[in-house]
Amino acid sequence: MNKTIIIILTICLSVSCKDNNSAARRIPVAEINKKVLYYDEIPPLIQRDLNAADSVAIIQNYINKWAKRELLLQKAEENLSQAVKSDITSQLEETRTNLLIFQYQRQMMLEKMDTVISEVELENYYKKNEKSFLLTSNIVKALFIKLPAESPGMDNVRKLARSDNQGDLQQLESYCYQFAEKFDDFNEEWIPMSRLSVELQNDIANEENFLKRNTFFETGDSASVYLIAIRDYRLRGTTAPYEYMKEDIRRLIWNSRRFEFIQSLENGIYNDALKKNSFKIY
């Protein structure tokens, strides 16, 4: 075990215990070609429940990693051409510039951009662009139930699943909480037909024909019975329902506002600089 590290650890823990709020004198723990690693630069890896030997091992491991990285960096500095290093410096400056601009734009957006998108605005956008919202997949509103094969009262379950009566559906839900392996109405929202295929663990060969011919479907195996009640459907290539597109429309409106806001911000700063003669074109 490295005695120097043990001594440093003991001193540092002692200083920390005496005064956690004061800045202790910096203690060097390693040096490579005049580049010094100080104890306070080591992340707080030492946990209170670790013994001294484990703490020393953690610190030693950190020092070894620091040394390898520093040696590699110094070797790179010595051997890379000035052109390569200049290119890296330019890339770093470009990254810094982009990050600063991004953070400023974000701050201005949080402070000044209108982020409230009303239901009326969403609906108007949908109506105006309805023909462009074409489905690329079949979608459904459906109810899915998976029951053990020997579940009681299956005839009544089939009847309740086909019903649109709220009382029947509540009765079905109560039954499924007791017996079903899975019961899902998908929050009564539109979902891709492929979601049902996943639940069935089997692809539906022709979704269009399936949807046109079935409002209720049952299949099963030796262990389980699968029931699907189709409440509504839309086929690929037809206009997507407003409810299905609502969140996409919200993102489209928000992105449009964001673009316009940033454009306005940039133009405002540019024009202000021209007025103040802080920017000149020669």
Number of domains in the chain: 2
* 207 within some domain: yes
The structure tokens 């990254």 sit at: 95
My answer on whether 142 and 230 are in the same domain is yes
Q: For 186-208, write each residue's pLDDT tens digit.
A: 999 999 998 888 888 777 888 99
* 43 within some domain: yes
Q: For 65-108, write each residue's pLDDT tens digit.
A: 999 999 999 999 999 999 999 999 999 999 999 999 999 999 99
Instruction: Provide the percentage of residues in the chain whose pLDDT is more than 70.
Output: 89
Q: Is 77 exposed, middle or buried (0-12, 13-18, 19+ CB in 10 A)?
A: exposed
- Provide the Cα torsion 148, 151, 153, 159; round to 10°: 0
Average pLDDT over residues 244-251: 96
Residue 129 has pLDDT above 90, yes or no: yes
Other beta carbons within 10 angstroms of residue 45's beta carbon come to 11
Domain encompassing residue 37: 3-79
* 91 within some domain: no
pTM: 0.71
* pLDDT interval class at 183 (50, 70, 90): very high
Other beta carbons within 10 angstroms of residue 60's beta carbon come to 17
Which runs of E-coded beta strand occur in the chain?
Answer: 28-32, 35-38, 139-148, 182-184, 191-192, 216-220, 224-234
My answer on whether 221 and 151 are in the same domain is yes
* 45 within some domain: yes
Average pLDDT over residues 239-256: 96
My answer on whether 73 and 8 are in the same domain is yes
Indicate which CATH number applies to the domain containing 144. Answer: 3.10.50
* 13 within some domain: yes
